[in-house]
Amino acid sequence: ILATLMIVVSSCETKDPIVEKGTLQSATYNPATKSFTLTYSSGQTETVNAVVDDKTDPPTATATLKDGTVIYAGDATVAGAATIAKEINIVSQFVYDGMSLYYFWADEEKNKKPPVADVNPENYFYKIL
């Protein structure tokens, strides 16, 4: 009876789909569906919806995964490879730090700090002006 119970318990455990997929290897953007197709080391693919920012020229597309990874397309009007980022872009952070020293808006405008999604320093600079 104990062996049967162990088999039933172990077969009912949920599997973590992220672990089974492996590591994220590549991402491509599709402007027609406004989505990213992610390819993992196991060969599995996943489609995630993108958030398109039409305030920039050209429009950009981003998606943030559950683990904090950001997927970014610099031109949301063109299909192709996307950038995979896990950290704030160092140039965007440098711009923020420099602007904070010379302009005292940083305390009043906390949302100007670059998030991980700001992987394009030029777009980030124009957004904070």
Question: In terms of domains, do 45 and 79 share one?
Answer: yes
Tell me whether residue 5 is in a domain.
no
Give the range of the structural domain holding residue 97, as residue numbers without chain letter. 87-129
pLDDT single digits (tens) 48-67: 999 998 888 888 899 989 98
Q: Strands 60-64, 45-49: parallel, antiparallel or unpaired by DSSP? A: unpaired
Tell me whether residue 4 is in a domain.
no
pLDDT single digits (tens) 69-112: 889 888 899 999 998 888 766 666 667 666 666 555 555 555 66
Q: What pTM was computed for the model?
A: 0.59
Q: Of 51, 70, 86, which marks where a domain is finished?
A: 86
Question: In terms of domains, do 51 and 91 share one?
Answer: no
Query: How far, in Å, are 11, 46, 117 from residue 93 at the CA level?
Result: 48, 30, 12
Tell me whether residue 111 is in a domain.
yes
Q: Is the peptide bond before 121 cis (omega within 30 degrees of 0)?
A: no
How many domains are contained in the chain?
A: 2
Nearest CA to 93 out of 116, 70, 59 is that of: 116
Question: In terms of domains, do 38 and 70 share one?
Answer: yes
pLDDT exceeds cutoff 80 at 21? yes
